[in-house]
Amino acid sequence: PVKGRAQKRNAAFRLVGNVVVVVHNAVAPTSEEWEQYIATLFKACKLYGNDLSVCRQYVLTDGGGPNSAQRAASLKAAEQMPHSLLMPVAVVSSSTFVRGIVTAFNWFNMNLKAFSPQDVHKAISFLKIDEPTVQAIYEELTLIEHDIGPVETIQIVREARKRRP
């Protein structure tokens, strides 16, 4: 990092209604960032009566994602949250590496599905997110990009959303 300049983050996590919004650039999250992700999940669990089945997770990534230790930490945390495996998770990315991570998580019977950025409408339909929440998510994505910089997947998804299916 250059002295006097704030280093951009690799990932950001926000709770928008009952949707955990996860954004990664092309770099893996730091350990601190992944701890923030798990804290966001626990916050959602607590807010929604300790039942993550009523929550959704919307992941947008340029290729960054959890390493094996972070994936293990996620699974350990999930064991402590009721119905966490029932929470639908849509992962939107063009990266084949990310799709491999989705496959690995699905070995644990998670409700997880990968989508290309052009198929954003299918991702939102899979998550059953209402339009006001979708609008709030896209407003939050603008703020997230201030934290981590431009994310190509967000730009592609914005363009795809303009083209109604």
CA atoms 45, 47, 49, 51: torsion sign: negative
pTM score, whole prediction: 0.90
Residue 6 pLDDT more than 60? Answer: no
Beta pairing class for 19-24 and 11-16: antiparallel
- pLDDT for 53 equals 85
Query: Between the ranges 101-110, 125-134, 155-164, where is the mean pLDDT highest?
Result: 125-134
Percent of the chain clearing pLDDT 70 (strictly above): 93
Q: At what angle do helices 68-79 and 96-106 cross, to 10 degrees?
A: 40
φ, ψ for residue 115, nearest 5 deg: -135, 145
How confident is the model over 76-124, as pLDDT tens digits?
988 888 887 788 999 999 998 888 778 777 776 678 899 999 999 999 9
